[in-house]
Amino acid sequence: MDPHLHGLFARAVDTEPLGPPEDLARAAMAQGTRLRRRRLLTVGGVPMVAVAGFAAAVGLAVTPTAGGQAPQAPAPASAGCSSSIPYAGSVAYLLLRTDITEQQRIDLADALPADALVQTFEHDTTEQAFERFKKLWRDEPVPVTEPTESFRIRLDRPGQFEEFAARYRDRPGVSDVVGAACLGDAE
Amino acid sequence: MTKRALRDEEFSAFVAAAAPRLKRTAFLMCQDWHLAQDLTQTTFAKMYASWSRIWRAENLEAYSRRVLVNTLLDQRKRRSHSELVLAEPPEPPGHGPDATTDLHVTLLRALATLPVRDQAIVVLRHWEDQSVDSVAEILGVSVSVVKMQNARSLQRLRALLGEDFVLS
């Protein structure tokens, strides 16, 4: 380190404006959640055209703004993407962790048909979406080594999503539970 | 407490600890406090989007700098041509009592004329005091590239800042 240079840098950052501390973590979490949803929109196996149209309709940013970040709008009105707006549909996705074990997968596959909330379910591998997912993550220093799996669930009745999500969100092997509308799935 | 709530708490703690330093590094590379705030928030947002995968990583602070540099690179690509043209080399600072006051401003302007990665090398080495190995790991380049680009960048800064500015 050059001490003279360091001293000049120190003078430069002294110009930092003082002000009330912003809740940076909260803003980053909201923005990061939108980013994650946007990435999932291209890896859920849903056609891109339908996804883009749906995302625009519910105010999700599919492409970055000129400022390079998602807009600071409130959480989108689409259900299943915001915990403040309950999802009223009947299709949910169990998004699985990349490090899910075979036993955890089996346990989920055993639990779902025995669950009164579940009418039908199917297991989705997202091999086709994997290449798109890799391109999406090319600028991120995150190793992408496995595709994202999911179970697509048809609930027994509309309006059961919250109960279903509460039951499965923290189960081993589960990364997240989202309403189908959040992924642009027209059900 | 649910897993998600625990992870969110950990993320918030990480942001609280890392944000002040990251924002100042961002400022030195973009010379605009508002933009630095945006870049810092976007960096943390990208990390949050991957948080369940990365929260156990050994060196999240180093990781955050790589994401910051990539975010800045993306931002530069989207800037208009007219904005890029404005990044002209600065006039060498004047002499006299105001010379020292001007010098840090001139330094930032001079820094802005370097490619983004070279700016990152200079700021990480000489502001954050990161080692050559650490800078190489953060930027995903070899140690020899860091040393070479650091030397060239300091040479350029010396040329732009005038003879009163002596770098060791």
Mean pLDDT of chain A: 67
Q: Is A102 on the interface with B (CB under 8 A)?
A: no
Cross-chain Cβ contact B52/A97 below 8 Å? yes
Q: Is A17 on the interface with B (CB under 8 A)?
A: yes
Instruction: In whole angstroms, give the CA distance from residue B68 to residue B66.
Output: 5
Measured between CB atoms, which of A3, A9, A139 is closest to B28? A9
ipTM for the predicted complex: 0.82
Specify whether the CB–CB gap between A153 and A91 falls below 8 A. Answer: yes
Q: Is A69 on the interface with B (CB under 8 A)?
A: yes
Q: What percent of chain B has pLDDT over 90?
A: 54
Res B41: pLDDT: 95
Measured between CB atoms, which of A6, A35, A142 is closest to B45? A35
Buried/exposed B73-82: b ≥16 CB within 10 Å, e otherwise: eebeeeeeee
Q: What is the pLDDT of residues A51-79, one digit of tens each?
A: 333 333 333 333 333 333 333 333 333 33
With CA atoms as reference, report the closest residue to B114 among B92, B135, B90, B95: B90
Question: What mean pLDDT do residues B130-142 have?
Answer: 92
Cα distances from B150 to residues A78, B6, B26, B64, B125, in angstroms, run: 49, 41, 18, 21, 8
Q: Is A18 on the interface with B (CB under 8 A)?
A: no
Res B19: pLDDT: 94
Sort out which chain B residues have CB atoms less than 8 A from A141's CB and list them.
63, 66-67, 70, 140
Instruction: In whole angstroms, give the CA distance from residue A30 to residue A34.
Output: 6
